């Protein structure tokens, strides 16, 4: 929910400075999650509201505008993936947003005043996808890149070439860069999430983030399976195709074989836009792809040049964002679930309703304070929205519809999983179960331990963890390393290949560096970054366990709260026993590198396999070098392998890599890549 903003005229300079700094930090965090991690933290309308507030405040208090403010940057603030970087010949700008017809009219009036006459506009649907630039030389597709931070994007050429709607050869041998949107059709999104849920993986939040995650894959085969599509809508070089209007450019793109959305419409004045917006608001759910608004562009390209652009947005275009869809429904029940840290979270279960093209019947209520503040009761009629096709949220209770005998909802006092008494810890809004043997917490902790950013045990998702717990094959993270083949074969849908792959992943995880293990233990408030900082300082898990609050808090970026959480964790008898069992299982408890990994490295985040004999050094040295540059070196080739480095006498791993279409380098290619990284082998 959005806070009530203090009117700008009522703010002191100090209040404004503090709010601007807070908004800049909040929006930067939201932007990183959205643009870099493809995992949005909030719905679009919440981001838009905070952004609009920041724009207003910075306009009133320009002395507090900073170069790194989200209002001064395009897209994500950084480009951090393992993909190669591309410098855009002309910046890839984002669009300014308006949220009402009144704001749209104000934009039209400013545009008309600047030009000195009423411009013709081209209307287009705002595709909910990921911006991309495509470069053709003599009619051949030679490069594709994401927007990134507007100046530098990521090279996704190999992935884009798997998208059937994007031609690799134009109908004419021209040289041109065009820009457009990669999107995931709704049908592909539904199929993908159904499969991810069946595999025990977290479903994507919405088609936009599914498209972004698919396009930025390091494994081209995965991108191909995702069935992405695209629309092209812009070129910075209209002379190359001989056009003078935006509508003409779209027609020319189509003639060249490029995919275009044919729902555009040219209007003579802004008053004609109402019908277009109404038409596609009603048709929105029936479209095969997601849209979140309408884009209005000055149609004549000469007029676009006259209007120019700011550092971030063109003045000749604006995006009208659809308001959040709302529906009425009835709360049937309130369920409580237990997370790995013991937080017990309420979820409203409602009569199913259609929102943003999907059936919705559950919405998180976050915590008891939130539930009480909303005064939501079983039997209440409520408004439900799902802005941006992301997170369902209850807007308000319709008190006029509340049954006369409806009682205030009683917050539970006992854990729904283990029936231990729940507590409110000082300074927290969450309700917690503090029973370390709570079965729900154990499942969440085991799932977290095996997750990608922790020990990365591929194949051990929530569904598999649940089966292992029910069979009593695992009880804590140490017991994962005692799993036997016969036990796994008894699990549902587990065959010999699945068992072999999972046991291999478990074995591989033993070699992880200390920071992954520390993060995987699930200590409260210790995220991946904090785990790395602590591991860099103390080098071994035992040294961390023996450290004092003062020792840990002295690390820059940690602080006393995290330090206290770490010390309290390692004081428990369960943690002390766990360290012994992990050591006995052969799990590495040492920090493997003093190198601070450069996340812009080509190797960062890639899964790499070494095979055969290397002539210029040992495989052990090569493994350490790769890990220092952010790679995950594994022992077996699979469809998820990004790169195989093959020395002399490479055997079955090379054959399998070729069969799966995995990229293969010889030793010389590896040496050349190392040289580009600026570090000798």
Is residue 573 pLDDT above 70, yes or no?
A: yes
CA 503, 507, 508, 509 torsion-angle sign: positive
Q: What is the band of 410 on the pLDDT scale with cuts at 50, 70, 90? A: very high
Predicted local confidence at residue 679, as pLDDT = 47
Q: What is the band of 79 on the pLDDT scale with cuts at 50, 70, 90? A: very low
Predicted local confidence at residue 597, as pLDDT = 60
Predicted local confidence at residue 287, as pLDDT = 85
Predicted local confidence at residue 513, as pLDDT = 92
630 or 307, which is more confident: 307
The CATH code belonging to domain 85-321 is: 3.30.470.30
Protein fold of 8-72: Helix Hairpins (1.10.287)
DSSP β-ladder status, 643-646 and 607-611:
parallel
Is residue 249 pLDDT above 70, yes or no?
A: yes
**Domain coordinates in residue numbering, the chain:** 8-72, 85-321, 326-423, 439-584, 607-676
To the nearest 10°, report the CA torsion of 173, 176, 177, 182.
-30
Is 126 considered catalytic here? yes
- Read off the pLDDT of each residue in 671-681 and give the average, rounded to a whole number: 69
Protein fold of 326-423: OB fold (Dihydrolipoamide Acetyltransferase, E2P) (2.40.50)
Predicted local confidence at residue 538, as pLDDT = 95
**500-530 residue pLDDT tens:** 999 999 999 999 999 999 999 989 888 887 8
- Local structure of residue 140 (DSSP, 8 states): E
3-class DSSP state of 202: coil
681 or 133, which is more confident: 133
520 or 638, which is more confident: 520
Strands ordered across the beta sheet of 291-298:
97-98, 317-321, 291-298, 121-127, 265-267
Q: What angle, rounded to 10 degrees, do the helices at 439-450 and 462-470 form?
A: 130
Predicted local confidence at residue 680, as pLDDT = 39
Is residue 130 pLDDT above 60, yes or no?
A: yes
Lowest mean pLDDT among 244-253, 573-582, 630-639, 659-668: 630-639
Predicted local confidence at residue 80, as pLDDT = 46
**154-189 residue pLDDT tens:** 899 998 998 989 999 999 999 999 999 999 888 888
Predicted local confidence at residue 3, as pLDDT = 61
CA distances from 523 to 128, 367, 527, 566, 600 (A): 37, 21, 8, 7, 28
556 or 337, which is more confident: 337
Burial of 543 (0-12, 13-18, 19+ CB in 10 A): middle
Predicted local confidence at residue 681, as pLDDT = 38
439-584, which class in CATH? mainly alpha
Predicted local confidence at residue 255, as pLDDT = 94
Cα angle: 576, vertex 579, 581; to 5 degrees: 110
Q: Across 417-421, 543-547, 589-593, which has the greatest mean pLDDT?
A: 543-547
Topology agreement, domain 8-72 and domain 85-321: no
3-class DSSP state of 205: coil
**445-468 residue pLDDT tens:** 999 999 887 999 988 999 999 999
Predicted local confidence at residue 202, as pLDDT = 55
Structure tokens at 366: 């976050």
- Read off the pLDDT of each residue in 82-91 and give the average, rounded to a whole number: 84
Average pLDDT of the chain to the nearest whole number = 86
**35-78 residue pLDDT tens:** 555 556 666 667 777 888 888 888 888 888 887 788 776 554 44
3-class DSSP state of 315: coil
**377-394 residue pLDDT tens:** 999 999 887 643 456 888
Helix, strand counts (H, E) of the chain: 25, 22
**180-196 residue pLDDT tens:** 999 988 888 877 776 66
293 or 597, which is more confident: 293
Catalytic residue among 78, 80, 126, 224: 126
- Read off the pLDDT of each residue in 289-306 and give the average, rounded to a whole number: 93
**516-571 residue pLDDT tens:** 999 999 898 888 878 988 999 999 999 999 999 999 999 877 888 889 989 999 99
CATH architecture of structural domain 607-676? 3-Layer(aba) Sandwich (3.40)
| C-beta contacts of 391-399 below 8 A and 24+ residues apart | 391/42, 391/43, 391/205, 391/363, 391/364, 392/355, 392/360, 392/362, 392/363, 392/364, 393/1, 393/43, 393/363, 393/364, 394/331, 394/348, 394/363, 394/365, 395/326, 398/328
Q: Which residues contact 472 (CB under 8 A, 6 or more apart)?
A: none
525 or 109, which is more confident: 109
583 or 290, which is more confident: 583
CA distances from 318 to 123, 305, 531 (A): 10, 15, 43
Q: In DSSP terms, which residues pair with 105 in a beta bridge? A: none
Q: What is the band of 34 on the pLDDT scale with cuts at 50, 70, 90? A: low
Separation of alpha carbons 476 and 580, rounded Å: 13
Q: Specify the residue for token string 């080509």.
A: 602
Is residue 594 pLDDT above 60, yes or no?
A: no
Predicted local confidence at residue 78, as pLDDT = 46
Q: Give the residue from 589, 602, 598 showing the smallest Cα distance to 643.
A: 602
- Read off the pLDDT of each residue in 404-417 and give the average, rounded to a whole number: 92
Q: Give the residue from 443, 437, 438, 498 showing the smallest Cα distance to 467.
A: 443
What does R_g of the chain's alpha carbons equal in angstroms?
27
């Amino acid at each position: 929910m959005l806070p009530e903003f203090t009117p700008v005229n009522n703010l002191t300079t100090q209040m404004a400075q503090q709010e601007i700094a807070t908004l800049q930090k909040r929006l930067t965090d939201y932007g990183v999650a959205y643009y870099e991690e493809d995992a949005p933290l909030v719905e679009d309308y919440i981001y838009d509201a905070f952004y609009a507030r920041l724009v207003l405040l910075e306009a009133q208090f320009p002395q507090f505008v900073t170069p790194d403010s989200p209002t001064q940057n395009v897209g994500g603030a950084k480009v951090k993936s393992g993909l190669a970087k591309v410098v855009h010949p002309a910046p890839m700008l984002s669009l300014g947003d308006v949220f009402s017809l009144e704001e749209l009219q104000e934009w039209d009036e400013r545009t008309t005043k600047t030009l000195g006459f009423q411009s013709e506009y081209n209307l287009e649907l705002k595709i909910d996808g990921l911006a991309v630039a495509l470069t053709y030389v003599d009619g051949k597709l030679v490069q594709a890149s994401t927007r990134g931070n507007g100046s530098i994007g990521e090279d996704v050429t190999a992935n884009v070439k798997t998208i059937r709607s994007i031609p690799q050869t134009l109908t004419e041998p021209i040289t041109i860069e065009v820009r457009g949107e990669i999107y995931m059709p709704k049908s592909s999104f539904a199929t993908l999430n159904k499969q991810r849920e069946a595999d025990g993986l977290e479903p994507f939040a919405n088609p936009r983030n599914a498209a972004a995650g698919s396009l930025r894959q390091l494994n081209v085969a995965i991108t191909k399976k995702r069935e992405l599509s695209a629309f092209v809508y812009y070129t910075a070089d209209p002379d190359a195709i001989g056009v003078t209007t935006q509508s003409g450019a779209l027609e020319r793109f189509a003639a060249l074989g490029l995919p275009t959305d044919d729902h555009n419409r040219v209007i003579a004045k802004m008053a004609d836009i109402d019908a277009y917006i109404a038409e596609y608001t009603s048709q929105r759910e029936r479209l095969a792809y997601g849209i979140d608004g309408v884009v209005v562009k000055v149609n004549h390209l000469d007029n676009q040049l006259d209007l120019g652009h700011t550092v971030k947005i063109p003045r000749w275009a604006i995006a009208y964002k659809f308001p959040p869809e709302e529906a009425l429904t009835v709360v049937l029940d309130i369920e409580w679930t237990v997370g790995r840290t013991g937080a017990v979270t309420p979820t409203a279960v409602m009569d199913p309703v259609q929102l943003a093209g999907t059936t919705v019947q559950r919405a998180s209520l976050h915590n008891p304070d939130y539930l009480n503040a909303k005064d939501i009761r079983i039997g209440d009629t409520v408004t439900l929205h799902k802005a941006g096709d992301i997170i369902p949220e209850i807007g308000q209770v319709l008190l006029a519809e509340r049954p006369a005998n409806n009682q205030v909802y009683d917050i539970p006092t006992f854990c729904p999983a283990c029936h231990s008494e729940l507590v409110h810890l000082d300074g927290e809004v969450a309700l917690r179960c503090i029973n370390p043997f709570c079965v729900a917490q154990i499942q969440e902790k085991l799932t977290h331990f095996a997750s990608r950013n922790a020990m990365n045990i591929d194949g051990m998702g929530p569904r598999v963890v649940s089966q292992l717990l029910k069979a009593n094959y695992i009880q804590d993270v140490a017991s994962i390393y005692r799993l036997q083949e016969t036990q796994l074969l008894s699990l549902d849908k587990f065959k010999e290949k699945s068992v072999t792959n999972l046991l291999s992943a478990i074995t591989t995880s033993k070699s992880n560096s200390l920071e992954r293990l520390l993060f995987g233990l699930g200590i409260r408030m210790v995220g991946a970054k904090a785990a790395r900082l602590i591991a860099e300082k103390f080098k071994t898990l035992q040294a961390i366990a023996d450290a004092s609050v003062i020792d840990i808090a002295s690390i820059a970026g940690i602080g006393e709260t995290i330090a206290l959480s770490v010390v309290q964790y390692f004081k428990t008898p369960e943690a002390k026993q766990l360290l012994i069992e992990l050591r006995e299982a052969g799990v590495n408890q040492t920090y493997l590198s003093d190198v601070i990994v450069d996340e812009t490295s080509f190797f960062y985040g890639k899964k790499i396999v070494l095979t055969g004999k290397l002539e210029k050094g040992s495989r052990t040295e090569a493994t350490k070098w790769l890990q220092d540059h952010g790679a995950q070196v594994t022992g077996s080739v699979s469809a998820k392998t990004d790169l195989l480095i093959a020395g002399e006498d490479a055997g079955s791993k090379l054959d399998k890599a070729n069969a799966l279409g995995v990229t293969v380098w010889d030793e010389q290619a590896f040496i050349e890549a190392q040289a580009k990284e600026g570090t000798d082998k």
